Structure 1
Amino acid sequence: MSEGDAELSAEAFVEYCETQARLLLGKVDQMEAEIDELLSDLDAEMAEIRERLDGHADAVEGTVTPGPDGGLDVAAIEDLEADLEERQAVAAAEQSRMVAFQDLAVGYTELAADLPDAADGRAALKRVLEFETERDAPAYFPDRQTVLEAAAESDDDDS
């Protein structure tokens, strides 16, 4: 047992898990705001396209000749549609990512609630390491070191 092991406590890991959960939920709030803004932009663009199409349909009598001089620019509409579909796919991917962050936050919260049952700090550490390994937690914290990363770094230093 090294000197650092004596300082380990289940309470410290509870606090760590609660902090991680709060950080994740903060990121979820940020992502949610960004997604809402993107969806609002998409809705506005869809309304604009509908308005253009409806306005064009009302103004046209007879056969429509596509093109800049002859009426509806089909290529431009198709480009807009492709752009919108791409941006909708980005929004859907961001929503999935947001759910993954929420799930990890819930996991940390549940782990924090269970850790006081750990016999000691080493047992709590083991449970946190297992949790972070199973959930690939370091991938969610590019700017913050997780316990798993710190332990791996410590193992590397001991080698």
Structure 2
Amino acid sequence: MTSDPGPSLTVAEFVEYCRTQAGLLSGHVERMGDEARALLDEIDAEMAEIRSRLDGGATDVGGTAGPSTAARPNEREVDLESIEELERDLSEKQTLVDAKQARMQAFQDLAAGYTELAEQLQNEVEDGQEALTRVVEFEADRDAPAYFEERQTLCEAAIEADSSDRK
């Protein structure tokens, strides 16, 4: 082992890192929001289709039985099976929207945490090593690596460096 501590890191670099991470998370939230809006548009269209089928339709949609009458010549049968299939599809899409909204909230919370951490580092920390430690602890506590598929976090880099130092 050498006594070389490596390159000197500044607090400003960690502040910028935190702001970059927050920006990336916000970009993910925007994309997820677009996807959620598209699903909601599909739900609206399918709801309109269900209403249209019901309005165009029949005497029996599964309600209480009324007195029997002769069939009216212009009345159409409501295809209950296809409406039920549309309802199942709507339910699945609504579940996807709910999941996207929960994921968006988690990404927003982490982005806000990074922004807050950047401010704390800028205002309270003078040593680059302390800033590094706080960022790594922040990411580990919040499982930040799970939010960044295409990018390595400082937490992951620290774990990687630690495991290679032990070899």
Same fold (TM over 0.5): yes
Number of equivalences: 152
Partner of residue 78, structure 1: 84
Partner of residue 138, structure 2: 131
Structure-to-structure mapping, 1:1-159, within 5 angstroms: 2-4=4-6, 6-57=7-58, 62=69, 71-116=77-122, 117-159=124-166
What amino acid is aligned across from residue 141 of structure 1 in structure 2? F
CA shift, 1:53, in A, is 0.6
Distance 2:55 2:69 in 1: 15
Q: SS state of the match for residue 56, structure 1? A: coil
CA offsets, 1:70-127, max 9 Å, x none?
8222222111111110110011000100010011000000000000211301110111
Distance 2:114 2:97 in 1: 26
What amino acid is aligned across from residue 117 of structure 2 in structure 1? L
CA shift, 1:63, in A, is 7.8
Q: SS state of the match for residue 19, structure 1? A: helix
Change over 3 Å in CA distance of 1:43–1:63 after alignment to 2 = farther
TM-score normalised by length of structure 1: 0.88
What amino acid is aligned across from residue 45 of structure 1 in structure 2? E
What amino acid is aligned across from residue 116 of structure 2 in structure 1? E
Q: SS state of the match for residue 120, structure 2? A: helix
**Larger proportion of helix:** 1
Is residue 53–residue 78 contact of structure 2 (8 Å, CA) maintained in 1? no
Q: SS state of the match for residue 95, structure 1? A: helix
Higher-Rg member (1/2): 2
TM-score normalised by length of structure 2: 0.84
Partner of residue 67, structure 1: none
CA shift, 1:62, in A, is 4.8
Alignment gaps of 5+ in structure 2: 60-67
Change over 3 Å in CA distance of 1:114–1:121 after alignment to 2 = same
Distance 2:70 2:41 in 1: 35
Identity of aligned residues (%): 54
Alignment gaps of 5+ in structure 1: 65-69
